[in-house]
């Protein structure tokens, strides 16, 4: 939802911006409309070729949109660097071949550029709200583009290789019906067609371990079918609760719910591929307790 149309807030309603030409960006503004005092949250909204300055009705929405909008303005400011990046990525023919089951070479290149921009231009940095901060961010981001590109290309290649191995194993072991069905749907959710942009940087780095976890599970199946079934029951009980809750969410997942989703991946590692280790203790009992806490929280 956006506000707009009144003289009081018109300074925060601009379209087609291609540079930081709008002064400071406050986190919130108060204005009157029809005799009522309202609060709006200024945001930079990415529209592909430029950004729009809007007033949104929640701080969380404004924060997310503004980070994406700042990335767009930085891409425009560093247009020459990103033009060269596009040219370099068009030569990644071997990677495009590995990606062919997910999409075309053009789709791959666009996804890589978007992921590189998000990580290199902003990453975990604070959102700039002044022109001086934006200019500093631009200088900070410039040298990171090449570093992020190399890391992303390496990770995506590894993920695609492992995805191909898992797919081949799933097609070769039809006798373990329940486990195979579980891992087929698990794989589709873990590595969707848009995984390069849909998966956060931190979790993208974890995907190879999760994929190796699937391979380990499939290797062990012939000798551990009963134990596997017990573990799968624990995972699916929690997973079904998560999926039902997620279906009620409009837009981005709340951070706590998103974190739970990734803890389910760690639970799979702890149950089916313990040798790959988890970064923190995890168990079905712990996640049951955590879920009880999450279920009491309102969805926002």
Per-residue pLDDT of the chain (300 residues; tens, 9 = 90+): 344 444 445 678 899 999 999 999 999 998 887 888 889 999 999 999 999 999 999 998 899 999 999 999 999 999 999 999 999 999 999 999 999 999 999 999 999 999 999 999 999 999 999 999 999 999 999 999 999 999 999 999 999 999 999 999 999 867 788 999 999 999 999 999 999 999 999 999 999 999 999 999 999 998 999 999 999 999 999 999 999 999 998 878 888 999 999 999 999 999 999 999 999 999 999 999 999 999 888 776
Structural domain boundaries in the chain: 1-60, 177-295
This prediction's pTM: 0.90
Cβ contact 42:29 at 8 Å = yes
Three-point CA angle 82, 63, 79, nearest 5° = 10
How far apart are the two ends of the chain, measured CA to CA in Å? 14
What share of residues in the chain are helix, strand, coil (percent, to 5)? 65, 10, 25
Three-point CA angle 143, 198, 288, nearest 5° = 120
- Pairing between strand 29-33 and 36-46? antiparallel
């Amino acid at each position: 939802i956006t506000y707009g149309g009144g003289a009081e807030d018109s300074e925060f309603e601009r379209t087609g911006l291609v540079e930081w030409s709008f002064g400071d960006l406050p986190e919130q503004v108060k204005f009157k409309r029809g005799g009522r005092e309202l609060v709006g949250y200024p945001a930079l909204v990415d529209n592909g070729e430029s950004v729009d300055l809007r007033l949104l009705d929640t701080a969380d929405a404004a924060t997310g949109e503004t980070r994406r909008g700042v990335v767009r303005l930085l891409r425009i400011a560093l247009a020459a660097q990103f033009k060269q990046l596009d040219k370099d990525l068009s030569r990644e023919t071997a990677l495009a071949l590995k990606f062919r089951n997910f999409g075309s070479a053009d789709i791959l290149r666009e996804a890589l550029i978007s992921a590189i921009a998000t990580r290199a231009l902003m990453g975990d940095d604070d959102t700039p709200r002044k022109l001086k901060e934006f200019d500093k961010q631009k200088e900070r981001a410039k040298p990171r583009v090449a570093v992020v590109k190399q890391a992303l290309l390496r990770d995506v290649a590894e993920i695609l290789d492992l995805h191909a191995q898992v797919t081949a194993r799933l097609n070769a072991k039809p006798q373990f019906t329940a486990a195979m069905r579980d891992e087929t749907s698990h794989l589709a959710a873990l590595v969707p067609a848009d995984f390069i942009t849909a998966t956060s940087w931190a979790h993208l780095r974890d995907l190879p371990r999760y994929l190796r976890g699937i391979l380990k599970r499939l290797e062990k199946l012939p000798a551990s079918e009963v134990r596997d079934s017990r573990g799968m029951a624990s995972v699916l009980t929690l997973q079904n609760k998560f999926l039902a809750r997620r279906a009620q969410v409009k837009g981005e997942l709340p951070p706590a719910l998103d974190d739970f989703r990734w803890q389910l991946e760690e639970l799979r590692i702890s149950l089916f591929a313990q040798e790959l280790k988890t970064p923190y203790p995890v168990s079905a009992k712990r996640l049951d307790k955590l879920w009880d806490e999450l279920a009491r929280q309102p969805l926002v």
